[in-house]
């Protein structure tokens, strides 16, 4: 299992680590020890993450500011009977680094780095911005 607090996520296509061309989910996160980390997910794991994100969006919430637990689950392929692993995701608590992540995103984050997950819209006041 891996607990993470998300900074951003991006889906792209590539031929990484000897795999054929396919979609990959790159996640930039803070681990429980406060270390900035990244990880790639593919296929069913990517779909599982997207489903969690979609579920929270439908509730009007973001995954930002929450601790997400990723855990490996063994599966059996219906096509050939072989086993494989997929990652399942769940929100387990509020994030302990949420304030620091928000500050990092505001001061240092660029969409060129990795696309931000959506957060609740910020309503700016004052000078017409």
Query: Looking at per-residue confidence, does 108 or 90 come out higher?
Result: 90
Distance CA 58, CA 62 (A): 9
Residue 124 has what pLDDT? Answer: 46
Burial class of residue 76, CB neighbours in 10 A (0-12, 13-18, 19+): exposed
- pLDDT for the residue numbered 129: 39
Please, which pLDDT band fits residue 109 given cuts at 50, 70 and 90?
low
- What is the gyration radius of the CA atoms in the chain, in angstroms? 16
Checking if the pLDDT of 118 tops 70, the result is no
Dump pLDDT digits (tens) for 37-59: 999 999 999 999 999 999 999 99
Reported pTM: 0.78
Per residue in 98-108, pLDDT (tens digit) is: 999 888 888 87
Spell out the residues 6+ positions from residue 90 whose beta carbon is closer than 8 angstroms to its own: 52, 68, 69
Categorize the per-residue pLDDT at 8 as very low, low, confident or very high, splitting at 50, 70 and 90: confident
Of 7-16, 41-50, 108-117, the poorest mean pLDDT is in 108-117
Instruction: Give the tokens for residue 88.
Output: 């399942």
């Amino acid at each position: 299992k891996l607990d993470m607090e998300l900074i951003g996520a991006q889906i792209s296509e590539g031929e990484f680590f000897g795999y054929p061309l396919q979609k990959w989910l790159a996640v930039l996160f803070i681990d429980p020890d406060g270390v900035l980390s990244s990880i790639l997910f593919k296929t069913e794991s990517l779909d599982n993450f997207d489903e969690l994100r979609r579920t929270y969006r439908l509730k009007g919430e973001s995954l930002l500011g929450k601790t997400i637990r990723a855990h490996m689950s063994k599966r059996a392929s219906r096509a050939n009977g072989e086993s494989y692993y997929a990652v399942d995701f769940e929100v387990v608590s509020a994030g302990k680094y949420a304030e620091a992540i928000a500050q990092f995103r505001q001061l240092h984050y660029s969409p060129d780095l990795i696309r931000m997950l959506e957060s609740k819209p910020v309503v700016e006041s004052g000078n017409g911005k």
